[in-house]
Amino acid sequence: MKKVLAIILALVMVLSFAACGGSGKKEDESLSEVQKAIAAAEKMTEEELVEAAKKELEEHPDLTFNADSLTSGVKKALAGFEKKYEWAAGRTAYNSKKGSEYQPKLIAAQQAGSYIADFVMIQDASFLKNSMLDTGFLRSYVPSGDGIDIAEGDRDPLVGVTFNKVFMYDNTKVGAEQLKNVWQMTGVDGATLKAVNNVSYQNPLGEDINMSFLIMLTSPTACEKLTAAYKSYFGTDYDPSADDYENIGYKFVAEFIKNVGHWHSSDSSEVKKINTYADDGRIIFAGLCKLKDYEYYKADYKDTDQYYTKTVTAAGWNNDVEGFDGFVYNMWTLIPDTAQLPYTACLFIRYLHTEEGYKAGWGGVLGYYSSNKLIPSIEGDPALDVWKEQCIVEDVEYIDSVYKTAVKFINMQLAGVK
């Protein structure tokens, strides 16, 4: 009996070893060319990666390095990239891609296994995870080396730049005192603070990020923040049995939507007109980076370095609203599995995560934050960690888990059903 058992065990061990060895080999074989290049690039020094990218471009003189992105920062960074690596000059192309219009292209390329670009920078966490990462179409290369320190949670998928949307207003007439607690935006008038009834919010039916924000407001983390703010504002604890909402987040979302005074269709256009809304005290929920589009001072100061300073002073936003200051979300820098120039893509991603590359793309503007912890936000703008602490942060797992219920609930509120 023992002999039989020993033989069986021996066989199991042999088969296990064989299986382990076999699967390792198979795994290596099943890796795509891009995956192999990324794995190799992650082990290279900067100099080695530069050499590999240079060699790749030289070997393919007919190819252009295509970078697809929603943000024009990539365009500016590409210019800096070509300047730093002269051998890449004239070999890169920036393709501006709007999210909702680019996603069908990515899906079509993924399903057909076709080339789409060598580098992409996209947002929408759920789309990225479910349609691009789970299908293995977009890959992450994690740069390392001197001057680069990317947080563990931002590596796979690799976060390129983080954004925030905050509540902004004209500083001269509206002022920071108007909004101190998020519950003011539900229309209820507290004992000490006046209700804010002139919030302008981009329609979530046309802007995914704004829908994600509303969904995230129902998350446990947001509920904690809302509960504390509720107590501070009303002077009493929130009583869940007082109404039928699933949690305090749903209550806030319902009352916030009812209280929105104006639904805008474009953050850029709305921020541009901040000064014209001074009289009605409008508070605009929009990307902080959109302040760069505010044009009131453009004509007078366009030839000086004061334009942006004047703009930032003219518009205000609160960093200490009880509850939350806004919403934080990411844009990821990734390589398609069908990329033709993967080493160049790795080198470009590495460049974007250096201080030099980041500054070339997004430097000097509020509301952009690098995932490289060693690159600080610009003067006058809190660090990303502070924003993350004070804002609601996009969480794809939570969004996926409650999407159906939360979106139905939000739709009901948008339709004005009691």
Partner 1 sequence: MKKNTQKLPLGNRMKSYFSKPANVICIVFLVILIAAVVIPLLTLLIGSFKVNGNQEAIYIGGGAKDGDFTFNHWVELLTSKDFDYAKIKFWQPLGQSALMALLACVVAVGFGGIVAWFITRSDLPGKKYISTIFVFPYIMPSWAMAMFWENFFKNTEMNAGMGILQSVTGICVPERIVYGLFPCAMSLGLHYAPFAYILIGGILRNMDANLEEAATVLKASRFKILRKITLPIVMPALVSTVLLVFSSSISSFTVPFFLNKSSINSGNNFISISVQMRCLINTGFTKGQGYVLAIILMMFSIGILTLNNWFTGSRKSFTTVTGKSGQVSLVKLGKARVVIAIILLIIVTFFAVMPLLSFAMESVLEVPGDWSTFTLRYWISGEGFEGSNKGDTIGILRSSIMWKAMGRSLLLSVIVSLVAGTFGLLIGYAVARKRNSKLATTVSDLAFLPYLIPSMSFGAVYLALSYTKGFTWLDGSFFLLILVGSIKFMPFASRTGTSAMLQLSGEIEEAAIIIGVPWLKRMTKVLFPIQKSSFISGYLLPFISCMREMSLFVLLAASYTTLVTTVLSEYSRTGLSQASNAINLLIIVFVLVIQFVVNKLTGASIDKGVGGN
Interface of this chain with partner 1, residues 191 to 220, rule: CB under 8 A: 198, 203, 205-206, 208, 211
Which residue's CB is nearer to partner 1, number 141 or number 277? 277
User: Cα-flanking dihedrals φ and ψ of residue 49, to 5°?
Assistant: -65, -40
Q: Is 258 a binder of partner 1 (CB under 8 A)?
A: yes
- The least distance separating partner 1 from the CB of residue 70, rounded to whole angstroms, comes to 9
295 contacts partner 1 (rule: CB under 8 A): yes
Among 299, 305, 379, 380, binds partner 1 (CB under 8 A): 299
**In the complex, what is the shortest distance from the CB of residue 159 to partner 1, in angstroms, rounded to a whole number?**
20
For residue 285, the minimal CB distance to partner 1 (Å) is 14
166 vs 365 by CB, closer to partner 1: 365
The secondary structure element, H or E, covering residue 205 is none
Q: CA angle, corner 374, sides to 368 and 378, nearest 5?
A: 35
| 416 is a site residue for partner 1 (CB under 8 A) | yes
Of 46 and 400, which has the nearer Cβ to partner 1? Answer: 400
355 to each of 89, 157, 316, 334, how far by Cα in Å?
A: 20, 20, 28, 19
Quick one: three-class SS letters along 94-154?
EEECCHHHHHHHHHHHHHHCCCCCCEEEECCHHHHHHHHHCCCCEECCCCCCCCCCECHHH
Instruction: Please state the closest distance from residue 47 (CB atom) to partner 1, in A.
Output: 29
| Closest approach of partner 1 to the CB of residue 271, in Å | 8
Neighbours of 2 (CB within 10 A): 6
Using the minimum distance from each CB to partner 1, give the nearer residue, 292 or 353.
Answer: 292
For position 304 contacting partner 1 by CB under 8 A, the verdict is no
Nearer to partner 1, 144 or 266 (CB): 266
Question: Binding of partner 1 at residue 369 (CB under 8 A)?
Answer: no
User: Restricting to residues 271-290, which ones interact with partner 1 according to CB under 8 A?
Assistant: 272-273, 275-277, 279-280, 282, 290
CB-based contacts of 15, cutoff 8 Å, min separation 6: none
CA separation for the pair 116, 349 (Å, rounded): 17
Nearest to residue 329, comparing CAs of 293, 366, 371? 371
Q: 91 to 110, contacts with partner 1 by CB under 8 A? A: 93-96, 98, 100-101, 103-105, 107-109
Burial class (CB in 10 A: 0-12, 13-18, 19+), 295: middle
Cα separations (Å) of 165 from 65, 202, 282, 375? 32, 11, 16, 20
* Residue 265 near partner 1 by CB under 8 A: yes
Phi/psi zone of residue 235: left (φ > 0), alpha (ψ -120 to 50 degrees), beta? Answer: left
DSSP designation for 335: E
d(CA 188, CA 17): 68
Neighbours of 341 (CB within 10 A): 27
Q: Does 165 bind partner 1 (CB under 8 A)?
A: no
Of residues 59 through 98, those in contact with partner 1 by CB under 8 A are 72, 75-76, 93-96, 98
Q: How far is CA 30 from the centre of its chain?
A: 31
Footprint on residues 385-414 left by partner 1 (CB under 8 A):
400, 403-405, 407-409, 411-414
Q: Which is nearer to partner 1, 24 or 206 (CB)?
A: 206
The one segment of 47-55, 164-172, 235-243, 258-266 that binds partner 1 by CB under 8 A: 258-266
Nearer to partner 1, 40 or 107 (CB): 107
CB of 334 closer than 8 Å to CB of 313: no
CB of 98 to partner 1, least distance (A): 6
> Given the DSSP bridges, would you call strands 283-287 and 199-202 parallel, antiparallel or unpaired?
parallel
User: Which of 23, 45, 269, 309 is close enough to bind partner 1 by CB under 8 A?
Assistant: 269
Nearest approach, Cβ of residue 76 and partner 1 (Å): 6
Give the separation between CA 45 and CA 145, rounded to whole angstroms: 8
Return the number of the residue (3 or 418) whose C-beta is nearest partner 1.
Answer: 418
How many residues touch partner 1 under the rule CB under 8 A: the total is 72
By beta-carbon proximity to partner 1, the closer residue of 307 and 343 is 307
Segment contacting partner 1 by CB under 8 A, of 4-12, 50-58, 260-268, 319-327 = 260-268
Backbone Cα Rg of the chain? 25
Residues in 116-145 that interact with partner 1 by CB under 8 A: 126-127, 130-131, 134-135
Q: Is 257 in the site for partner 1 (CB under 8 A)?
A: yes
What is the Cα–Cα distance from 326 to 167, expressed in whole angstroms?
A: 7
259 binding partner 1? (CB under 8 A): yes
